Amino acid sequence: MLKTELPELMQDNRLAHALLFLGKEGSGALSLALAFAQFVVCEKVSPPAGAKQGASLFGESTPAERTRMMDACGVCPSCVKAQKFVHPDIHFSYPVVTKKAGTPPISIDYITEWREFISLYPYGNVYDWLQFIGAENKQGNITANECNDIIRKLNLKSFESEYKILLMWMPEYLGNEGNKLLKVIEEPPPNTLFLLVAENESLILQTILSRCQLIKVPPLKTKDIEDALISRNNTEASTARQIASVSEGNYREALQQSRHADEDWQSLLREWLNAIMKTGPIAQTRWVEEISRLGREKQKQFLRYFNHLLEQAIRVRAMAAVGGGLPEKELDFATRLNRIAGIEQQEAIIEELDRAAYYIERNANAKILFHALTIKLYHIIQDKIVFLPD
C-alpha cells in the first residue's frame, strides 16, 4: 500500500520535506525509502535539472501536463543510477566508525562498502553493517562532522535531478550534535528532501522527530515472507512456512533462520529444560558449555525458537484449541510447556529470553549469560518467582 500511497501524496503536494520511515528490523523500510528516492529523481516523474517544467513537486499545484506515475520508470538514466546507488543527487548518511586514525568518521569514507552492503543485504541491521565494515566491537555513530558534511552537500546546486535527497539510515545513532541539522531540515534549500529510516522512534532526537512527517512501515505479512523465502532464497516450502510463522514479520530474521533450518532446536531445548527441572547443576553446566560454542547468531535463533514455542503454548491454552496449524511436534511440545508453567510464568520467561537476546547482540559473555538465565528459569518455574527488570 505505501508504494502507491507515497507517490500519490507527493504528486498531490501533501508530503513534507522531511519524512521518517519508521519500521521494525526486517520490515523493508530502507528498501521502501530507496525506492521512493528513485521515484523522486526518475526523469519521467521529475524532469532533469535545467529542463523546462511546471510547478515543483513540493509546490502549490501539480501541472496538468505532468503524467501521474505510481512508480519510477526503472529505465531512464536517473533510475539506472539510483538502482546502483550512484546518483549524484541522492546522498547517504549512516552510522560509521573512524576509518583512518586522526580523521573524523564520516559516511562518504564508506560509500563503496555501503553500496555493496545495501545491494547484498537490503534487510540487514546495524550489527550486520558494522560487521561488514570491520568495526568489530566499536560503536557506530553519526557525528557532528557528518552533520557538517550533510549541510555542505545540501547547500550545493543539484547535479542532474531537480531534487536533492539526503537518506539517513538509523538516525537513532545521531546524538545531540544532530541539532546542527535543525535549520536545514526546517528551512531546506529549494527542492531538498530528507528521508530518515529508523527502527526505534524513542531513540531519535525529539527536535528531529517533531520536524518529520511519520511514515509507519508495518511488519511484513507471514505469507509474504513465506513466498519470498521460497522464490528468492530457494527454501523448501514446509521449512519456509515454519520459519515465516516464527519470524514475526522480520525478513532478516527469516533469512538467518533459513541458514540454520537444519538445527534441532527442540532437542537442545528439551535438554536444557530437563537440566533445569531434573538432572541438576552438572547437566546445566554441560549444556551451557554446549550452547556457548554455537556462536551469537545461533544462540539468538535458539532463544527466538523458545520464545515462539512459549507464545504458541499461551495461544493454545487461551484458545483451548488444537494449535492453529502448528506442526504436530511443536504442538506436543507447547502442550508440555503448559503443564510445567502457567501463563504468568511463561510471560516472565519470554521477557527473560528477550533480554538475553538483547545482551547477546551486544557481545555479552555467553557462558555467564546462559548460566544466569538457567538459574532465573529454574526459580520462575520451580519457585514461581518473576524477576523484575534491572
* Domain match, 106 and 167 both: yes
pLDDT of 39? 92
* Domain match, 204 and 227 both: no
What does the alpha-carbon distance between residue 127 and residue 135 come to, in Å, rounded to a whole number? 9
Whether residue 36 is predicted with pLDDT greater than 90 in this model: the reply is yes
Whether residue 227 is predicted with pLDDT greater than 90 in this model: the reply is yes
Does 300 map to a domain?
A: yes
CATH of the domain at 165: 3.40.50.300
Put residue 30 in one of left, alpha, beta given phi > 0 → left and psi -120 to 50 → alpha. Answer: alpha
* Domain match, 255 and 269 both: no
Mean pLDDT of 329-355: 84
Range of the domain at 191: 2-216
Mean pLDDT of 271-296: 90
Mean pLDDT of 235-250: 84
Q: For residue range 45-59, what is the model confidence (pLDDT) as tens digits? A: 877 655 544 445 555
Mean pLDDT of 328-347: 81
More confident residue, 63 or 211: 211
What does the alpha-carbon distance between residue 5 and residue 273 come to, in Å, rounded to a whole number? 49
Does 388 map to a domain?
A: no
* Domain match, 311 and 254 both: no
* Domain match, 237 and 277 both: no
Q: For residue range 373-385, what is the model confidence (pLDDT) as tens digits? A: 999 999 888 876 5
pLDDT band at 280 (very low <50, low <70, confident <90, very high): confident
Residue 93 has phi, psi (to 5 degrees) of -140, 140
Q: For residue range 125-155, what is the model confidence (pLDDT) as tens digits? A: 998 898 899 887 688 899 999 999 999 999 9
Torsion of CA 379, 382, 386, 387, to 10 degrees: 0
Mean pLDDT of 296-323: 76
* Domain match, 112 and 229 both: no
* Domain match, 299 and 367 both: yes
* Domain match, 27 and 165 both: yes
Does 245 map to a domain?
A: yes
Query: Do the Cβ atoms of 322 and 331 come closer than 8 Å?
Result: yes
Q: Locate cell 539510483: which residue? A: 82
pLDDT band at 244 (very low <50, low <70, confident <90, very high): confident
pLDDT of 95? 95
* Domain match, 106 and 149 both: yes
Whether residue 300 is predicted with pLDDT greater than 90 in this model: the reply is no
- 94: nearest Cα among 211, 182, 179, 172: 172
Mean pLDDT of 20-27: 94
Does 387 map to a domain?
A: no
Most confident of 301-315, 351-365, 367-381: 367-381
* Domain match, 7 and 72 both: yes
Does 390 map to a domain?
A: no
* Domain match, 59 and 190 both: yes
Does 184 map to a domain?
A: yes
Q: Provide the mean pLDDT of the chain.
A: 85
pLDDT band at 117 (very low <50, low <70, confident <90, very high): very high
- Cα dihedral 103, 105, 110, 111 sign: negative
Mean pLDDT of 63-90: 83
CATH of the domain at 369: 1.20.272
Mean pLDDT of 57-67: 47
pLDDT of 67? 53
Whether residue 272 is predicted with pLDDT greater than 90 in this model: the reply is yes
Whether residue 11 is predicted with pLDDT greater than 80 in this model: the reply is no
Please state which of the ranges 273-282, 328-337, 366-375 shows the lowest mean pLDDT. Answer: 328-337
Q: Domains in the chain: how many in total?
A: 3
Does 195 map to a domain?
A: yes
CA angle, corner 331, sides to 326 and 337, nearest 5? Answer: 135
Does 296 map to a domain?
A: yes
pLDDT of 260? 67
* Domain match, 230 and 181 both: no
Query: Do the Cβ atoms of 276 and 323 come closer than 8 Å?
Result: no
